Amino acid sequence: MKLAAIFSLSMFAFGAEYYPPPDANGGWRTLDKPEEVKKTAGMDLAKLDTAFDYAKDTTQHGGLLVVRHGYLVYERYFGRGNREAVPELASCGKAFTSIAVGIALKEKAALIPDGLNQKVFTPKYMPAEIFPLDDPRKADITLGQLLAMSAGIRGVNPVYVHGEKETWDTPSVDGPIATTDPVALHEKLWCAPGECYSYATSSPHLASIVLRRLVGMEMEQYIRLKIAEPLGFGTWGYAMYRPNLKAGIDAQGRMEHTPGGGSIAVRSTDILRFIYLLLHEGKWGSQQIVPASFVRMCGKMSPFNPHFSHSFNFNVNEDGHISGVPKDAYWKAGAGGYCMYVVPSLDMVIYKMGGNEGQYDPKLTGLPVKYTYDGARDGWKLDKAKVGDATAQTLQMVVAAVVK
Tens-digit pLDDT profile for the chain (404 aa)?
A: 344 444 444 443 444 589 999 999 999 999 989 999 999 999 999 999 999 999 999 999 999 999 999 999 999 999 999 999 999 999 999 999 999 999 999 999 999 999 999 999 999 999 999 999 999 999 999 999 999 999 999 899 889 998 899 888 777 889 999 999 999 999 999 899 999 999 999 999 999 999 999 999 999 999 999 999 999 999 999 999 999 998 999 999 999 999 999 999 999 999 999 999 999 999 999 999 999 999 999 999 999 999 999 999 999 999 999 999 999 999 999 999 999 999 999 999 999 999 999 999 999 999 999 999 999 999 999 988 888 899 999 999 999 999 98
Domain residue spans of the chain: 3-92+235-400, 95-213
d(CA 193, CA 180): 21
So what's the pLDDT on residue 16?
A: 55
The fold adopted by the segment(s) 3-92+235-400 is Beta-lactamase (3.40.710)
So what's the pLDDT on residue 386?
A: 80
Q: Is 135 exposed, middle or buried (0-12, 13-18, 19+ CB in 10 A)?
A: middle
So what's the pLDDT on residue 10?
A: 41
